[in-house]
Every structure is written in C-alpha cells, then in structure tokens.
Amino acid sequence: MVSDNRILVIGGTGVSGVHLVNGLLERGKNVTIFHSGTHKPSKDFAPWYYEGRVKIVYGNAFKKKGIEDALGDLGYFDVVCSMYGNLRSISKFFSTGNRLGRFISIGGAPLYDMFGTANHEESVGGWSVTNLITESYRIQTDDGTLNGEPNSLTF
C-alpha cells in the first residue's frame, strides 16, 4: 500500500501550487518543490518557501535532461503532483525504477493535445491516461518547439 507522506510538487510556486503546498503542509506532509526558480511566491501566501519548511529543487521541467538532473538523486516519492513542465518527459522519468507511488497531473493544458483526440486512451510512461478534454491546445516539446514551430508561448 502506498503512503502519502513524501510528496513532490512540480510547479509548486505558481497560483495553484502555493495553495496545494499550504494544504499538504497543514496535513503534516513532507513536501519537495521542483520549479525553475524564475519567481518566488509571496511571503503572505507561502511563508514556508522562506522558512525552510519544504525542500526546493531548481531545474527545467520542460527538458528531459533538466528533469533528470534535478530529480535523479531524490529517490522515491509517495505522490508526484505535476502542474508545470513537459508532462510526457516527467511521466517517463518517473516510470523508470522505483520512483513513485502515485502520479497526479493538475491542470489541463499539457493534456489537451498530448494524447490525440478526446476520449482517447494511451499508455504513457507505464500509466494509462484517459483524455476527456475536447479543447485543442498546442504543447511544448523537448526541443523547445510547439507542435514543431518555434515556441510562441510565455511560461
């Protein structure tokens, strides 16, 4: 049985991530955040960031090498909550070895076109993912393009 005490939040300093981390800490969880370091959350909303109550890991969640370099030596997580980055590369990284118990993706943008048409089911990194979303969204790939075109979105 999987426990839920050691949790990695990818994108934990954004609008949704701050609230998720607050809730996890209130429940006594051991939280690690993986983010780019390009911005810091407000001290009013995320005092834990400045108090050393979470482990912070910096890296590029959009590149396979950035994910491997940042997370490669961190060991096992009971839960990984991904709200940022290249979902395909993140899920493939965690599917190798004994790295996690549960994988949760929060936010729909990375899933919109990733698995094809709506209601299409595909196995990614060993997990079966059902896409129930009917909207269309361009995704960023490991080579820094969006659907083969130079990146035009700001993250």
Question: How big is the CA angle at 19 (ends 16 and 22), to the nearest 5 degrees?
Answer: 150
Query: DSSP letters along 2-45, please?
Result: ---SEEEEETTTSHHHHHHHHHHHHTT-EEEEEE--S----TTT
Q: Is 70 exposed, middle or buried (0-12, 13-18, 19+ CB in 10 A)?
A: buried
Q: Of 34, 30, 21, nearest to 3 (Cα)?
A: 30
pLDDT in tens, the chain (155 residues): 445 689 999 988 887 888 889 999 999 999 999 999 888 888 888 999 999 999 999 999 999 999 999 998 999 999 999 888 888 888 888 888 788 888 888 765 544 444 444 444 444 445 444 443 333 444 444 555 544 544 433 32
pLDDT of res. 61: 92
How many angstroms separate the CA atoms of 96 and 45, rounded?
A: 35
Residue environment code for 123-148, b if the CB has 16+ CB neighbours within 10 A, otherwise e: ebbeeebebebeeeebbbbeeeeeee
Query: In 3D, which of 124, 93, 130, 98 has the Cα closest to residue 10?
Result: 93
Other CB atoms within 10 Å distance of the CB of residue 14: 16
| Single pTM value for the model | 0.69
Owner of token pair 């969640």: 61
